[in-house]
Amino acid sequence: MSEPVEARIMLSLPQIHCAACISAVERELARTAGVKSARVNLTLKRVSIEAEPDTTAEDMVRVLAGIGYEAHELDAGTLRATETDKRGRDLLMRLAVAGFAAMNVMMLSVAVWAGAQETTRELFHWVSAAIALPAIAFSAQPFFRSAWAMLKVRHLNMDVPISLAILLASAMSFYEITQGGEHAYFDAALSLTFFLLAGRYLDHRTRAIARSAAEELAALEVPRAERIIGETVETIAIAELAVGDLVRVKPGGRMPVDGVVTDGQSELDRSLLTGETVPVFAGLDTVVSAGEVNLTGPLTIRVTAAGEDTSLHRMADLVAMAESSKNRYTSLADKAAGIYAPGVHLLALLAFIGWLFVSGGDIRLSLNIAVAVLIITCPCALGLAVPAVTTAASGRLFRKGMLIKDSTALERLAEVDTVVFDKTGTLTQGQPELTNMGDFTRTDLEIALALAEASAHPLAVSLAHATTTAGTKPAKISDLREMPGYGIQGLWKSKPVRLGRATWVGAKAGAQTATYLQIGNAAPRAFTFNDRLREGAPEAVAALKAQGMSLVLISGDGPAAVQDMANRLGFDDWTAEALPQEKAARVKALSEEGAKVLMVGDGLNDTAALAAAHVSISPATALDAARVASDIVLLGHDMSPMADATIIARKATKRILENFGVAAGYNMIAVPIALLGFATPLMAALAMSASSITVSLNALRLR
């Protein structure tokens, strides 16, 4: 008999943010029975657990909930592609080879420049060639492959002149040493390769942080479910479920499928999908969706859609489509390169033909001048024009508490004229706050606290926290029972007491979020709650409006709560009870009308809209998938830096255009010098470096 395979569990931990969180999670899991090891990845906000075969993800979620950390099971197989970064390792390896080779060749070049003569000079040139040519052939492959891919489809990009400059400098240098020439330019070719690879690797790392939100969403789908067959229950993969099967979902578990409730009563937390802050009742014939959380009672669900057919999976498809459409945005540097590259090639060709004619057929001289023209016009300054500014602007925004994830985000942010906000968790803290504790006697509060402590309902948790903070002690209540879908009840001094839904205690529900307390036969009274505004939200909204932005509020919450928020912050355009696809559709409609939309959201229900927007922002407290779908992450709790971000983005775009002007001005001066034959390839490489430094210094003005 084969030995049981150990369980490998991966959980998303959206709330962790520091080394203390890592220690707390790993320490608690390590002392849990059945766990062999637990490793937290703070960057990805995940924990990977190896445990005994009978250990389940639900067990681990409960353990972490006990120490105050929210956790969601992830499908490790779905995320396997995001765990490996072969391209990043490949670029880093090529960068290291180019850097090592460049340092060695430069040391040999110093000896040549110092006046090494004949045999010694030739020896150093051949040693340089032996180091440089294999290193360039290996390290410059990313540029060569990109250039060849463009040439095959008869297009040009920035990698075409870069590849030509590297190849011609190498070839010309090799030709020079075979003819006993005094000069070789292997150091210039290697330096060019090294610095361009460094830029390419940094760009790749930026993009690697912004992993596919569609993959994150797919990984959030519950990988297994408990199927009921007669009197038995079996745990099977979601892929094995069929329409009509019966599935059991325990309290605290997420819905693995779309379906209809056939047995049981509970409350559902739909905030993950719709943004609704208040849990909704679920009873017989209630329609449920994959991703919703079952709060209080066990439910039996008849499957109507599973796997790729669920609403959660359809949302992942929406995000994937929106991401692909955003990727069609062309950066300013790419647009400039499309114009610049053909001119560079044509100029170098004309220089070669012209000097071939003037020199009476001297191929060596003509090729030297053509290479010098190609190197002196190599688009390094053009290539740095955008990254240098982006780096300076990103650093300034980081100090203000904003992290830029996408390489073109600043350019897109500068074009924004419309801002769409989600409500819950974005403009607000996403946590109910008791507003009328002063309306109750101390006895009322003691009874309410005792009842609230027996429930995991968000309103009960908030009530318990507020009353405990105020110094209230729980009353002695016997026969405490949670009634799934309704509330908590018990006996206080032989009187029945209840805390829960309005209909359950015989009250009339008001427009405000509330839970109701009834003591004996007395009239029920409401504990009311508001969602507290996020710090800096009023200032951010006012500043964006002052900049002339059109502001829109879209939320999955009910009309009363959304209208109240719109009135508090000054939104004229607001929409309530919006489903995820409706949010994405509204953003798309605004875009089709010509608006450049900035979407600000934090939930799973916002991911499609975040991906569909021209540019997007999410707070650091957002769900993993929302942060991944966004271009910019708000690191702190204060929203006020958002208004600064749009101003800095416009300034950054202005600096980018100035840098293009610097690059163009440099070429107007340097190119004629090269064309007239007054610049060797080495001098051309030095001039190219000078233009790059000028561009970088101009970018630093943003700091």
Report residue 433 as tokens. 């706050």
Angle at 75 between CA 83 and CA 243, to 5 degrees: 150
The secondary structure of residue 224, as a DSSP letter, is: E
Report residue 474 as tokens. 């729980």
Task: Classify residue 531 as exposed, middle or buried by CB count within 10 Å of its CB (0-12, 13-18, 19+).
Answer: buried
Taking phi over 0 as left and psi of -120 to 50 as alpha, with beta for the rest, 154 belongs to: left
Residues 257, 158: Cα–Cα separation, whole Å = 48
Find out whether 517 and 524 touch, Cβ atoms under 8 Å. Answer: yes
Helix, strand, coil percentages for the chain (3-state, nearest 5) = 50, 20, 30
- Asked whether the CA dihedral 9, 12, 17, 21 is positive or negative, the reply is negative
Inter-axis angle of helices 186-209 and 141-152, nearest 10: 80
Give the CA dihedral 447, 501, 562, 439, nearest 10 degrees.
Answer: -30
Q: What is the DSSP string of 502-558?
A: HHHHTPPP-SS-EEEEEETTSPPEEEEEEEEEPTTHHHHHHHHHHTT-EEEEE-SS-
Q: Would you call 236 helix, strand, or coil by DSSP?
A: strand
Q: At 598, phi and psi to the nearest 5?
A: -100, 120
The closest alpha carbon to 628, from 651, 646, 610, belongs to 610
Give the active site residues: 422
Q: Would you call 14 helix, strand, or coil by DSSP?
A: coil
Cα separations in angstroms, 577 against 65, 274, 403, 591, 597: 29, 8, 30, 21, 21
Find out whether 505 and 524 touch, Cβ atoms under 8 Å. Answer: yes
Report residue 72 as tokens. 């969601």
Tokens 């300076």 locate to 392
Q: Which amino acid is at 162?
A: I
Give exposure, 596-621, as e/b (b: 16+ Cβ within 10 Å): bbbbbbbbbbbbbbbbbbbbbbbbbb
Q: What is the DSSP string of 396-457?
A: HHHHTTEEE-STTHHHHHTT--EEEE--TTTTEEEEEEE--GGGS-HHHHHHHHHHHTT---
Residues 35, 39: Cα–Cα separation, whole Å = 11
Q: Would you call 330 helix, strand, or coil by DSSP?
A: coil
The closest alpha carbon to 544, from 554, 535, 536, belongs to 536
The closest alpha carbon to 102, from 165, 188, 162, 174, belongs to 188
Pairing of strands 280-282, 266-269: antiparallel
Find out whether 387 and 206 touch, Cβ atoms under 8 Å. Answer: no
Tokens 């006020």 locate to 640
Residues 326, 306: Cα–Cα separation, whole Å = 29
Residues 32, 37: Cα–Cα separation, whole Å = 10
Q: Which amino acid is at 449?
A: L
